[in-house]
Amino acid sequence: MQLGKVRFSEAFAPGVIDFFDPQLRQTAPIVTAGAAQLTESTLEIVVSGQFSTAMEVACDRCLEPAPFPVDASFTLSYLPAASAPESGESAIHGPELEVGFYEGDGIELTDVLREEILLLLPMQRVCREDCKGICPVCGQNRNLVECHCHLVAGDDRWAGLRNL
């Protein structure tokens, strides 16, 4: 049996949610709305909604701030931690891949949003596709300065091993 939905509509100012990454910064409020529903028989909590915000992180190539707007919807299922598989290795398939587990009375919306935002950010975070990065010789941002540095050839004492 499913119990009534609990609707939510929240805005979280920058700094309220800790992203555990000092280079990742929230630059706009996280605005979210949706609903959570509890299934009484299994104690499954299904949370669905949408959110939007703006994040900023240092570019992986030039270290300049790179903006990342985030706008997405989500539907997540959570079961009580007691129903989780025993610790150790076990195979999971299909729908089990998309189920999380909770302890206590429920889940925190801030935890859901933190996880969703971190999953939506790209693995390689660049300010723009054609970013030239930092010069490995002089350390200047190649997007701002044409430095004309030349890379010094590596140590050739190990070159014989490359031929093996």
Q: Is the pLDDT of residue 103 over 70?
A: yes
Does the predicted TM-score (pTM) go above 0.85? Answer: no
| Six token digits for residue 76 | 């997540």
Could you give the residue ranges of the DSSP H alpha helices within the chain? 109-120, 159-162
How confident is the model over 4-31, as pLDDT tens digits?
Answer: 789 999 999 999 999 999 989 999 999 9
What value, to the nearest 5°, has the Cα angle with vertex 33 and ends 28 and 39? 140
What pLDDT band is residue 153 in, cutting at 50, 70 and 90? Answer: low
